[in-house]
């Protein structure tokens, strides 16, 4: 009996050792699980964050692609643009050589020209474009009195800027003498017109260029020979856009009515009004006009009956 009792602990010892070993193993496994669980959670969290970022990027790229695909081109905008009342729309006849009717590929720049024919008016230049023998034209002509005539639709090519006709809007500006210097009236109207076009087609002043930039031709001559004046013009565009008053040092221009009837309707007109007549052109700072049309009244006498050859001889 005592031997049996003494042997009992020996029989349970191995079992106790096995139990203790399994428990120890379980404890180690639980500890390992506790250590790896946070790592898995962190990894999962990082994966979720990366997926979220990728989703945002995909949504952003999709939105940009949609805007690009759905955004109207400037030519489409031009087709829907209403021309303001201060622009006199006199489109060249369809089928005329000056108006090809070819649709623009885009509207990327605004090109400034000068007509190169002193003392000719905006109307005269527009009417010349409309002759069957003419193959040149611009979208707009700005006159010495500040009048603006539209000759070609904004969606169509003009014929004045060479290889840039396909993606530009062209503006010709009249001038009183061979220097090509604009009058104050034409300068103010040019700023107004260019800024309207810039706002319509979302163009910065960097997209306002001279014909000179296209071909190297001295056009507009005054701004090619006086590049600082061109810089001032670009600065004046920005100033006017901000609502600031723009002043210029360009000569004032007397219209035909002013020359014939005086600049002032008051009784002392003769005493206070400068003489803007052709005989006294030097007094109004048209220094070189005597060599051209200041002494030639034929430019006033132009009519639709004037033969094209004669008109070209006078003005071009």
Tens digit of pLDDT for each residue in 42-100?
767 777 787 778 888 888 887 776 666 657 999 999 999 999 999 999 999 998 999 99
Q: Which residues of 273-288 are buried (b: 16+ CB within 10 A; e: fewer)?
A: eeebebeebeebebee
d(CA 22, CA 93): 103
DSSP for 180-239, please give it. Answer: -PPPHHHHHHHHHHHHHHHHHHT--GGGEEEHHHHH----SHHHHH-HHHHHHHHHHHHH
pLDDT of res. 121: 97
Confidence of residue 37 (pLDDT cuts 50, 70, 90): low
- Which is higher by pLDDT, 288 or 248? 248
Confidence of residue 316 (pLDDT cuts 50, 70, 90): very low
DSSP run (H or E) holding 140: strand 140-142
296 pLDDT above the threshold of 80: no
Between 3.40.50.970, 2.60.40.10, 3.20.20.70, 3.40.80.10, what CATH number should domain 74-316 receive? 3.40.80.10
pLDDT of res. 68: 63
In the block, which residue shows the tokens 């723009």?
A: 246
pLDDT of res. 57: 86
304 pLDDT above the threshold of 60: no
The string of pLDDT tens digits covering residues 181-213 is 999 999 999 999 999 999 999 999 999 999 999
Q: What average pLDDT does range 122-129 have in this prediction?
A: 97
**Contact assessment for residue 115 and residue 122, using Cβ atoms and an 8 Å cutoff:** no
Q: How far, in whole angstroms, is CA 78 from its chain's centroid?
A: 12
Residue-level length of the chain? 316
Q: Which residues pair with 150 in a beta bridge?
A: 89, 140
- H-helix segments, the chain: 2-70, 74-80, 122-129, 184-201, 211-215, 221-225, 227-241, 256-261, 269-272, 308-315
d(CA 75, CA 72): 8
pLDDT of res. 89: 98
pLDDT of res. 31: 62
Closest CA to 95 of 139, 127, 130: 130
Give the global pTM: 0.64
pLDDT of res. 298: 37
- Which is higher by pLDDT, 32 or 3? 32
Closest CA to 308 of 91, 92, 127: 127
151 pLDDT above the threshold of 70: yes
Both structure tokens of 235: 């600065």
Q: Please state, rounded to an integer, the average pLDDT across all residues of the chain.
A: 78
The C-alpha torsion from 284 through 224 and 239 to 115, rounded to 10°, is 60
The helix/strand/coil state of 296 is coil
Confidence of residue 110 (pLDDT cuts 50, 70, 90): very high
The string of pLDDT tens digits covering residues 231-272 is 999 999 999 999 999 988 898 887 655 554 444 444 443 443
pLDDT of res. 51: 79
- Which is higher by pLDDT, 200 or 301? 200
Both structure tokens of 23: 């428990």
d(CA 201, CA 77): 7
């Amino acid at each position: 009996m005592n031997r049996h009792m003494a042997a009992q602990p020996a029989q349970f010892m191995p079992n106790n050792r096995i139990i203790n070993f399994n428990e120890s193993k379980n404890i180690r496994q639980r500890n390992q699980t506790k250590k790896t669980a946070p790592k898995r959670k962190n990894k999962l969290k990082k994966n979720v964050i990366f997926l979220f970022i990728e989703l945002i990027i995909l949504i952003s790229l999709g939105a940009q692609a949609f805007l690009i695909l759905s955004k109207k081109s400037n030519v489409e905008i031009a087709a829907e643009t209403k021309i303001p009342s201060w622009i006199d729309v006199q489109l060249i006849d369809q089928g005329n050589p000056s108006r090809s009717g070819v649709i623009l590929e885009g509207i990327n720049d605004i090109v400034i020209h000068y007509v190169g024919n002193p003392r000719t008016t905006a109307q005269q230049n527009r009417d010349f474009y409309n002759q069957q023998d003419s193959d040149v034209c611009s979208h707009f002509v700005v006159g010495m009195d500040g009048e603006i005539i539209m000759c070609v639709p904004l969606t169509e090519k003009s014929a004045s800027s060479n290889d840039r006709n396909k993606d530009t809007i062209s503006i010709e500006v009249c001038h009183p003498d061979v220097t090509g210097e604009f009058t104050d009236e034409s300068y103010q109207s040019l700023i107004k017109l260019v800024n309207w076009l810039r706002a319509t087609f979302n163009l910065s002043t960097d997209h306002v260029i001279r014909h000179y930039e296209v071909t190297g031709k001295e056009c507009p001559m005054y701004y090619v020979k006086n590049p600082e004046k061109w810089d001032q013009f670009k600065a004046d565009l920005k100033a006017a856009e901000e609502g600031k008053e723009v002043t210029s040092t360009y000569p004032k221009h007397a219209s035909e009515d002013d020359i014939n009837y005086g600049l002032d309707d008051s009784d002392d007109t003769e005493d206070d009004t400068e003489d803007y007549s052709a005989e006294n052109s030097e007094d109004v700072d048209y220094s070189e006009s005597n060599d051209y049309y200041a002494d030639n009244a034929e430019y006033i006498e132009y009519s639709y009956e004037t033969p094209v050859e004669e008109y070209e001889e006078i003005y071009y």
